[in-house]
Structure 1
């Protein structure tokens, strides 16, 4: 039966759908196409090497069970991976890999001819044999708007990005420059824009490229006398996304080339999206004519996520990966790692990996041990927010009450203890500690610390409070 492979895969999908989230199913299983079934070996086609590696990393056990159920103990699964671009007009070029041979693919990026009318233009991204412009966009499927948690820290940039995705080149946000510190989600948002545009406008050519890649391609073009081809290739892109544009600083020839590409795209109504670790006014070594063009559209900054947003980010990732963790562990991670989403997610992955490899349950103690080890010492200093939470939990008080102006004795005492530990365990200024504790001034914080010191010397019960809290706050 010619379509037996399709029926087997449909049966597999019906089981998979009951075992993964709806979003996970749509993202990772709907794009898969069954290719053939031969001697109990089912071959499935996946869109990219990244896609294949994600399946192998996150769903391999589920796939093995289902294949065994559908095809018996001898059943096997092979991947057919579409490389960047098509080798022929009739069918995609694929590489087959059995599940036992992971990491077997290398995906070269070499220059090849692209036919545009009668002119041959070098395409620096795809594999030899391409017959038309069909550039791989370099977008990662999981960097979508659905997977980007919205908060006060990114609301403006996210809203502007979504507006651009709905009408690329047709809004006032052209270029859209997204800037912020490391690990705040610039790349995620930029790629989310590209993915949304691809979903909405199938005929638009979207290209995401890191600035360092752009620079190296330009250098190669100069060496090989292909500068015109390089320029023409980029001028044919409908949506150009350049990541970390600040790395063009100091490179005059590359900036000059980018200036002409930028002008052409902008004048022809194409969309430009840029990311940077700093605002245009702070970019040193960048030509003024480029900086002025960066300001034509909208510059939107990404700020440090709030506590609530950090918790939401962790919960979103856990949901997507099918992970469950105790609430106190999630809160500890969110309270302890305050500045960098990448490190926050890295801590979660490290914790899960350590738990799995050592067959230990994920507990608060394990989280405390792991964070300092795997997240570049981020958690050596606990945050004021976390100290306040621990103190409020200990005395069974709502945190809003601690930050209020009430003078109730039990609240004042808890507030003073929080100030005491904040001064002892963080590098924050007295003014900053006071601001976190209901807008108190530095003198109030000093008074609180003296009061706590006096009470622990004279009051045995109070001293026990401090000992208990210090154990809860200490990082092993």
Structure 2
């Protein structure tokens, strides 16, 4: 290559980027793909003047990591593409600085002078050595912190033994058990658990943390909410202690962070978490995250973070089904030493469908009412307590309610039930719905038929007779009908 080509200034940003692309192509052949994505993709080439290439990097921490681990690779690559006289400088985008406030720093390459950026209030200070945790002012204020003195911030009641498995959470729970066995050494790193509020995300990730501590007592485990992390970062930034903040989190072997969707409006916090994430992941540490939404739906989250969330496993948790809700109540009863009639358990499980916390809260309230009033727990007491938790308690059963129950049970779209289609699954659901409508409502046969798109009363009579005949001749049909009948009865209480 003729190195004299680059002795004059190059003002075209396109030309600069093309030269850097050539460098990246060489680097990509010399590092693994994760290292390349983490430490080289975020770099932007901003200028080339007099053989000095200026690169923009996200942070001081990023610059120092490159200098410590990849200075030789960068030096050889730049010289290979631009010639022996080439030098490299960084422009560092720091916390608290605007897009125009940048500070250059020359990389230490053979034949160049090693310089550091001057300290400014809006710049992160130079980091401590990673193997020296002493004198770090931690977010949890433990003087003279040692690695194994980190308080995990875990709730000891959140364990796998009382985390009920169901179809709604089986994948996430199974992944959690694997992680607890070999934290940081499975393909589930990071593990991102997402789902609705009160569906058991926090219980699961804390159960992983507690299990890791039981199996690997030498591992440093920490649970922290994203809200607390953001507040800690703000406090440390005000006191010019961001370095201590970053290095504290780099000490963790298993980092569990709850509600990362709260990072979306916190751009500076995302930058710091990116640095922490990279260090932990490349060091073989385990990262476990929860969110109310899937990572792909986190509008406003930096793409570089989203790409890292996709490195491991994204496992969703659904709302617990009827059987799982019953099991959750029974586990809670066993833990609290309670005895509650089976019909009350089913009634509660049916009427609280979306939130495990409300389900457990209703159980506690029921027990409190029974204890304070010195009454036995029965259906009447349960109905009074449940009025404070759900609007559906003691509701009047309608044809529409029955239609939705049957459609949910047989996985038939509600709108299909109102057509005259002869598809077997729709006919089956329609016949059973008409049977229950006649049994549980006071509506006339004509009114029932009208609720299905205009069937006459003879169709309703025929449907009811068909259901009764099948109950006598088909055992499996009868078992399914009895299960559905129980659901309808509970809903009509």
Deviation, 1:291, is: 0.8
1:240 pairs with 2:261: no
Structure 1 regions of 5+ residues with no counterpart? Answer: 1-113, 393-398, 423-433, 435-441, 455-468
CA contact (8 A) 1:337 1:343 kept: yes
Shift of 1:450: 7.1
Does structure 2 conserve the Cα–Cα contact (< 8 Å) formed by 1:416 and 1:448?
no
Give per-residue Cα distances to partners, 1:37-59, cap 9 Å, x unaligned.
xxxxxxxxxxxxxxxxxxxxxxx
Match of residue 218 from structure 1: 233
What does residue 138 of structure 1 align with? 153
Map 1:178-193 onto structure 2 (within 5 A): 178-193=193-208
Partner deviation per Cα, 1:63-119 (whole Å, 9 max, x = no partner) = xxxxxxxxxxxxxxxxxxxxxxxxxxxxxxxxxxxxxxxxxxxxxxxxxxx996485
Q: Deviations over 1:211-238 (max 9, x none)?
A: 0010010001101111001000101100
Q: 1:249 to 1:449 in 2, by over 3 A?
A: farther
- Deviation of residue 414 (structure 1)? 3.5
- 1:154-175 CA-to-partner distances (Å, cap 9, x unmatched) read 0011011111111111111100
User: In 1, Cα distance between the equivalents of 2:240 and 2:157?
Assistant: 38
Alignment of 1:41-440 (within 5 A): 117=132, 119-128=134-143, 133-373=148-388, 375=389, 377=391, 379=393, 414-417=435-438
Change (3 A) 1:188 1:415: same
Matches of 1:289 and 1:115, distance apart in 2: 24
- CA shift in 2, pair 1:369/1:417, >3 Å: farther
Judged with a 3 Å threshold, the aligned counterparts in structure 2 of structure 1 residues 325 and 271 are, in CA distance, closer, same or farther, namely same
Change in CA separation of 1:275 and 1:470 when aligned onto 2, cut-off 3 Å: closer
Give the drift of 1:448.
7.8
RMSD of aligned residue pairs (Cα, Å): 4.1
Task: Label 1:215 to 1:314 Cα distance change in 2 as closer, same or farther (>3 A).
Answer: same
Unaligned runs of at least 5 residues, structure 2: 1-128, 411-423, 462-486
Report the Cα distance in structure 2 between the residues aligned to 1:325 and 1:449, rounded to whole angstroms: 45
Query: What corresponds to 1:111 in structure 2?
Result: none
Residues 228 and 452 of structure 1: is their aligned pair in 2 closer, same or farther, counting only changes over 3 Å? farther
Instruction: Note the C-alpha offset of 1:383.
Output: 9.3
SS in 2 for 1:123: coil
Pair 1:471–1:159, CA change in 2 (3 A): closer
SS at match of 2:249: helix
Q: Distance in 2 between matches of 1:197 and 1:207?
A: 11
The TM-score normalised by the length of structure 2 is 0.57
Contact 1:239 / 1:270 at 8 angstroms: preserved in 2? yes
Contact residue 337 and residue 379 of structure 1 kept, 8 A: no
State the SS of the aligned residue for 2:167.
coil
Which whole-Å CA distance do the structure 2 matches of 1:309 and 1:357 have between them?
29
Match of 1:66 in 2: none
**Equivalent residues of 1:205, 1:239 under 8 A apart:** yes
Quick one: distance in 2 between partners of 1:218 and 1:125?
12
Quote the Cα distance in structure 2 between the aligned partners of 1:269 and 1:227: 23
The 1:197–1:352 alpha-carbon spacing in structure 2 relative to 1, beyond 3 Å, is same
Are the aligned partners of 1:336 and 1:382 in contact in 2 as well (CA < 8 Å)? no
Q: Do 2:195 and 2:292's aligned partners in 1 also have CA atoms closer than 8 Å?
A: yes
Q: Give SS of 2:155's match.
A: coil
Q: Give the CA deviation at 1:360.
A: 2.0
Largest Rg, 1 or 2: 2
